[in-house]
Structures are given as C-alpha cells and as structure tokens.
Chain A
C-alpha cells in the first residue's frame, strides 16, 4: 500500500501527451513489410483507433441488442444485490419492474430430487409453458424472488449473479434469456442454485424495465453434512515457508510483464503449467512449476507432513527460459522420474541422476517457439516412452519458408507443427536421441491447426493408444492408431467420421468413462461467452453467411463439449449434459471428487482479468 501513490501518472500532469501516446503504437507484425518496396500504409492511425473505439461501443456500431444488454446490466445487477440481501419488498421491485409485470413461481413447488447421497442432494425442475398461470404486479414478483432465495441464508457469503445470454428485439418488447446463479450457506451445509429465466423488458424509458419473468430451468444442490465447502485452499500452509512462493508466485503475470524485459521470454500471450510426479522415490508426489521467461521454474519436493521444500537450484532445474509445460516420466526405464520441458526453444530433457540432481541429456530444437503441451506414450510399444508436443502459432520464419496461408479464425491451417518424438535411447556422444516420426506415422495430417492440448487414450478398446488433439482456431483431430500393410504403426485422422471435430476453440482434452459403459468418453475445454451467445444469434451477425457457417460461430461460444463414446457407432455429443457452461475454459478435467465412482469435472477458466472494470 505504501507504494501505491509514489508514482504520479503523467496522465494527470500531461493528459494530452499521454492520450497521444496511448493510441499511437504500431503493430509489431505489419503484413505490408514482407512484400518489398511499396508505400507503407500505416496500419493503424489515430483515426483508426477512434473508429475502433466506436466499434467497441455497441450503441455506435449499430448493435442495438448489445446496447440493450449493456443497458439492462445495471438493473439486473441491482436486482441480484437485492436478492442476495434478502427480503425483497415491492418498492425495490418497483424500481426495476413495471407495475403491471407478470411473474410465476421461480422456485418449483415440488422439485424433483435427482439423487440423495449422504453428503449431497440435487433437486431439479423444468417448467412448461402452461404449468402455471401468471401473477400480476410487483408484489407477486417480490414474493416469487423471496421464495426462490428462501433456502439460502443471507449473509456476506451469499452470492447472486444474473446475466443475459440472449436478446431478441421485438416491437412488443425485448425478449431475453437470463442465466442465474445463487449460492450461500443453507440450513445444514451449502446451497447452490443454477437456472434460466425468460424475461421480457420494456424499453421506452432510459433504463429498461422488466415486464415479465418466467422460469425455464432450475437446479439446486445442497450439501448435507458439512459446514465447510468441499475443497479448501491450503497453499499457504504448504508453501508459506518458501521464499520463491512469496516473491515470485504470489504475483500474477501482469505484475511481471512490466518488470521483466520481453527478450527474457516474458510474453503476454504465453501460459505456464504444472507437473506432478515422485521425483525422489519416497512415495510422495512432488510438483514442478513452469514459469514465464525470466522467472526460474520451481521444483517443490513434498515432505512427510505435506509441506514442500524448494530444491529447484540444487536439483539443477531452475530454468529461466520461458517454459510452457513439463512432464515427469521415466524415459530410460531406470526407475527414476526424468524431467521434460516444453520451452520456447524446444524440448529439453533432463535425466534424474538419483542423487537429487538432474543432468541435461537432450535438446530437441523447434523452429516454432509457441510450444505448448507435452504428453508421453509408448506409441510403438518398444518399451520406452515417446513424446508428443503441441504447437500453437508458427514462427515468422516458418511462415515465410513454408508460404503458409493467412490466419482464419474458424478454420486455421497456418499453425506450427505438432511433433511426435520417438525415444531412440542413448547416442554415441552420450546425448539421448529423439527422432521426429510425425510424418512417418501419419500424424502430419491436419497438423497446422494451432494446437494447445493433446491426450492419449484407447478409445476404441483395441489395445493401442489413440490421440486426440484440441486445436484453438481449427477443427480438432482424432488420430486412430493402426497398422499399415507392412505392419508399421500408422495413424489415421478420423475426427469427422467419429463425430468429434468440435469447431470450438479447443483448449484441453480429458478422457474418462463418465457413464461407466466400459468405453472412454471425451471432454473438451472450449470457450463460453455470454456476449458471444447474444451476438451470434442476431440476424445482424454475418448477415450474408450461410446457416451452417452461422451455426459454426455459435459453436465457438457455446462452451465445453462432452462426447459420449458409443463404440462402433462413434461418439455422440451430449446435448444437455449440464457440463457445457465452463465459461472461458482452459484445463477441464475429469476427477471423481466425491469418491462415488462417477467422474466429476473440474474447469479452470477465465481469460484476462485486470483492474479494468469493463470487459472487452
């Protein structure tokens, strides 16, 4: 806090100067430059910048539905706050709803109990159009909202969120869908409600007013036996003694972006991962933390009491090079976990010497620096683990050399190349040998689609491992492991036939048998956007496009995908899985959190949070 006011922004001193500076940066990668002498067009002038700002303003860019969603956000926020506070009165409702508003019971009279376990009960309802008659007036709406919130004890932990997910501008009123979430303490444990309303608005005044609210869907989860929520943040107690944790990991990326020069590899659009494995063979899992360039990676060894010791330096693994991901696997079958790192310069392999240190044994250089995820597999069954590496963007050099096509958001084919590296053991000079066999085994098909994640699984239960690759800007790939005529491993890209193309912006892959039919199902992390959901359903959105392409864009913002494996019939996307709205999802993973034998799902999400109160 002491430091907060030390710097006086020059904006105060010299507003005009800062405004000029603000809008005058040129793009770093001007496409005009590669083409030889031509008058340089200035790709973004200050006028362009102003035009861009106007385009960002839905009212100015003609997106009336978005302007409406923006205008309705304030009354909705107010309503959410009042719901969280409880005991809504007629007066409060009158501020945001019409005196003649219509409403129905928002909490079902007889919710269906889906399943009651000792620790949790789930209740659900769907509402039909003719289930109930409308009631008139603000008092009825207040009563419906109070009844809805009646199971949640009001307090500082109570949270209510209302968001508009679709808008239809009609002459008689604006029809919207509202996603609602409420949570807080209940009478025994915690309660969470999730649902959807159909809400009609009147737009004649400056602030939109609610004309009617009717429920679509409702779900309530109640925990039955614990005051605590299920998972607790114990990071401090495990890492609190670590200096590196305090100095490096308790700050977000934005902090370091302004403090570490970019040539160290401190870049805005890079992401860093984690690997768990038993490094010292003591039966306890340890954790390796990848960091952005200029910050040293960390190896934390778990102690018997669950806390960790930072051995990064002594182990020789405190790399400052920009590292996306890591793997702890035994590459030479000596019973010790070796370290594989995906870095901007390529894949670095260090062998575990068994004395607490790691020695460098191989570096597989990559032309494309946007190296992402690692996975290990013995694809050829020769008894040692091979490595698969995904790459997002191609480097400028690759682009020029290969004459790659331009970037297409919905179906990109200009990405870097994912590589399968065959483990060929020790070479003459003591280096470990990895051979790129990507093309040889057929993994070069559809291999420029900006890949983020990949995961191996025997989806067809034929005894060998197949590969699913999630692509950010293109269709995803499923490579079936098979044999060619001479009996060599040959992968075939079968995503389309298998029904798992998934046009969404694929960020992660997780496999599990979620329905316990003996076949592995697939969950793919994508993005969900309320604004995107609203926009892509509008007639104004890409007015001249085909219905199929429009559907494709809706697909981009619809959220995560759950594909049920139906065996010979291929995969089938589960339409109403209840697990699609993972927001802007990154790693999305199956894990049976309550030990009931059914795989649950965890989604890490959120794109970019800053102090900026608005949202692009």
Chain B
C-alpha cells in the first residue's frame, strides 16, 4: 500500500494513494476476503453502576448471535410480545436476514419488563424524541431512562415500543414522560410484565390489548446459498460490441463477430467440456425451433488457447462433424476472450472469471443483448431472442430478475458508454475512444459535454503518441486532427498535427 498522505499539499502523493486504494478495491471485486468470517459480538453489561469501573462481559458465543455473517444492521423489537427483546439482522452475505428470537428470560427467573407505546397529541404523533423515565421502588436501583428514536445504529430503525428490563426484585414506582414539546407528564398505576399505551395528556397508562397470540416460532438452521455461477443475464440496455474477430476452424480468415443479418447466439465452448458438448448437441437438435425464433448460432471453440503457435482443433472438428453441427463455427482467439472479459467486466460490479460454456446473445446490429454462463434453458434463450427488438424501457423491466417498480429514470446511455470506455481505455484505447465518440452526440448537458470532450481529446492524443511510435502516421494525423477539432485552442496538438502532416509529406515524397 501507498502510505496515506499527510495532507493534500502533495498532489503526487495523493494520486499514488488513490491508485493504491483503487488497486485494493479491485482485489475485492475479484473475490478477495477482508476481515471476513467475523462473528457477531454481544457484550453483557456487568458494569455494576455509577462510578464503578467494571466491564462488559463477552457473551458472543453463549448468546447464539455469533454467526460469521457479514453483518450490517441490527433492529431491536419484541417481535413475539413475550417480554424480551428480539433482533432482526441484515447481512451482506447469505442469509441476508435473520430473526433472532430471545429465549434468555424465563418467568421462573424473575427478571421482567415493561414496555410503552407513545402517542403525541400536541407534539409529533409518533412522539419521536420523547424521554421516558421509569422510577424503581428500590432506591439503590434508581431509575431507567430511554428516548424514543426513529433511526439509529446503522441503516436501522428499531421498534417504537420502548422496552425496559426489570431485574428480579425491582418494582415500578412511577413512570414519567417528557414529551418532545417539553411537556412533563406522570403516569401512575404501571406494573411490570405488561405493555402500555401512553397518550399525551391522558395521564393514564392504558394496558395494551392482551389478546392472546399463539406465536410458535421454531429455531432452525438457514441453508447456505448454493454458490453456482450458472446464470442467464438479460441486459437492461443493448451494448455495442467492440471490434471482435474470430477465425475459421480450418482457415485463418478473420471474420467479425458483429457481422450478420440475424440475432445470434455465440457459444464459446471447449471440446474437453462435457456440458459444452451436450449444449452444442442440443442446439443442433433444436435448430428448427431456433430458426422459427429467428435465432442463428455461432459456435466458437476455445481449445488450446494457451498453447503458443499452431492450434490443434482436430478433436473439436471431429465432434462438430459427429453431431452434424448445422450452424457456423469458428475459433476464438485470446484477443477475443480478453475483449469479452473487458466488456463483461464493465457490466458487472464484481468480476466473474470467464468459463465455458459461455453464451452471448447478439442482435443483427452487433449489440450484446444477454450473457449466459452455463447452458441457457431453451425457453429463456427463445424469450430473449424474440424480444431482441424490445425498447430500452421494456428491456430495463425485463432485465430485473423479479417484478418490482422503478421511480428513477433508466440511467442514460452516455453513462454506460463512458463506463465501457473506462474499462477499455488502458488496454484498448481505440475501443475506448470509439465508445466515447458514440456517447458524445447523446450528451446534452453542457458541462458534461465539455468534460467528455476533454477526456476524448486526452485519449485521442494518447492514441496519436502510440501511432507515432509505431510509425502509423496516417492514424496519428487522424487522431491529432480530432484533438484539434475537439479543442481548437490546443496549440500543442495543432503544432504536432502540423509536424505529423509534414512528416507524412516528406515520407510520401521519398
């Protein structure tokens, strides 16, 4: 790690520091664990009373709450109305919810409780901000205070019932409420072991309905989630593909993945992978069904991609011949996979390593519509293919895996294109520029447009430097011309454009 800079004065130190942070967050997105498998903690108050420096005791394990979840919130509520506090917990990991029912206190033991629900009349109706004080008969025990709050802890809102534990041998002398508007009110005739409603100005604690509840909740272990990577993801927007090329099974002819007049399923497969073979066989068998849905298939083999030099596709070709595979076929290259990884990496906020069988649904205009990890169920595939023409709003609704409603607008396409550019710019700056050029005409906000133009100029300029280095003067001239177009005031770029043009002329004259 780069050390945290002392202050903001050293720009370089801050940049290095931020770069180190972004490296760390990348490790997370690749599946690294940090402070993981930590068990929740519970501390039992054994501090003993005012002024006595005694400690809380660690009861995490005996409490039963010490799950190794990635816990986020805790909500306190007497869910089953049995007089002790239960907890709802929310986790990052599965299971995302736990209702923890409290079984500490049995009546035999003698600890009791009293609980109040407040209603404000001259203050806010929920009486948020009210302070309730329970005076105990035992003078040494003193008093208990609580404030009614809405929202505390972290991302948590607990019950508006105020719950007071009453230790064995303590009784209630009186209850007073300081309402949020400052009114003080005493409530008499309150006994332990009950729940009361306190209405502002009534002066009388109203016992809450004692209607019997037959709550029978059983404890059981929650199953762990099954950790499968198989998924069918319909994308909420059509994603323009970068330049992707593959070669024929038995020839070196480069063909574009974007080409074609139909919606197609590109299936990446390996001859050593049984699920791939089964899927190709099944696609072959379902040809008439796929044809009817207007769906074409292209099977791209990934055998021996790591091998330098000549690639042996004999086994793959033999398999295709054996099943009389009726669609187009070809070989994927490392470059193709790398770009696909960049593309998919931009679409999800955590990295899922590429694996076969991997299906890509691509429309006739070369847009990616869906990603299938593992063999896509036929009905899913056909549904997605039939909805290849769905508009962006329909696409957004279909892409959510469960029904629900949106109140926000579909995030703009320029933001998506810029995101794609982010992911491509380091390794494929030309692709990044392509995405930004697509975004520019769609950006309406003047400030955003200006910042995008700046970014594009920077990238074109970078491309130009690479083109000069590789002696691609025509390319460099195009790039620099675009910089000048985007930033007419950029004298340095203009100068370099003239230099490149001059060099080209000189070369041509030679």
Contact = CB atoms under 8 A, between A and B. Distances in A.
A407 B7 CA distance: 9
A597 interface: yes
B470 to A, nearest CB: 15
A205 interface: no
A348 B407 contact: yes
Contact of B92 (A330, A516, A608): A608
Contact of B401 (A15, A259, A275, A514): A259
Given A14-B337, A28-B419, A231 B149 contact: no
A594 interface: yes
Contact of B156 (A31, A254, A269, A587): A587
A430 interface: no
Interface string B31-61: 1111111111111111111110111111111
B152 interface: yes
A309 interface: no
B402 A248 contact: yes
A512 B226 CA distance: 40
A270 to B, nearest CB: 9
B124 A118 contact: no
Interface in A318-365: 318-321, 324-330, 333-335, 343-345, 348, 360, 363
A207 interface: no
A67 to B, nearest CB: 16
Contact of A596 (B1, B167, B342): B167
B43 A375 contact: no
A483 B275 CA distance: 72
B76 A591 contact: yes
Contact of A275 (B62, B91, B157, B483): B157
Interface string A298-334: 0000101111000011001011110011111110011
A131 B319 CA distance: 78
A68 B79 CA distance: 48
A487 interface: no
A514 B47 contact: yes
Interface string A459-476: 000010100001000000
Interface in B48-97: 48-51, 53-65, 67-77, 79-80, 83-97
Contacts of B461: 37-40
Contacts of B57: 114, 122, 219, 221, 578
A285 B161 contact: yes
Interface string A79-116: 00000000000000000000000000000000000110
A289 B155 CA distance: 11
B338 interface: yes
Pick the 10 closest A-B CB pairs, nearest first.
A273-B155, A604-B71, A296-B404, A578-B55, A229-B64, A26-B426, A375-B151, A609-B36, A595-B165, A183-B61
A577 B348 CA distance: 43
Contacts of B95: 235, 249-250
A385 B122 contact: no
Contacts of A363: 407
B455 to A, nearest CB: 5
Contacts of B3: 542
Contacts, number: 766
B256 to A, nearest CB: 20
A592 B163 contact: yes
A444 interface: no
Contacts of A194: 58
A305 B216 contact: yes
A230 B40 CA distance: 14
Nearest to B11: A406
Interface string A406-422: 11111000000000000
Contacts of A457: 147, 149
A225 interface: yes
Contact of A453 (B154, B159, B161, B303): B154
6 contacts: A16-B334, A115-B48, A230-B65, A410-B4, A513-B145, A585-B41
Interface stretch (B103-111, B258-266, B323-331, B500-508): B103-111
B458 A37 contact: yes
Contacts of A283: 208-209
A10 B156 contact: no
B220 A302 contact: no
A382 B308 CA distance: 76
A176 interface: no
Interface stretch (A132-140, A143-151, A165-173, A502-510): A502-510
A603 B41 contact: yes
B223 interface: yes
Contacts of B454: 33-34, 36-37
A255 B225 contact: yes
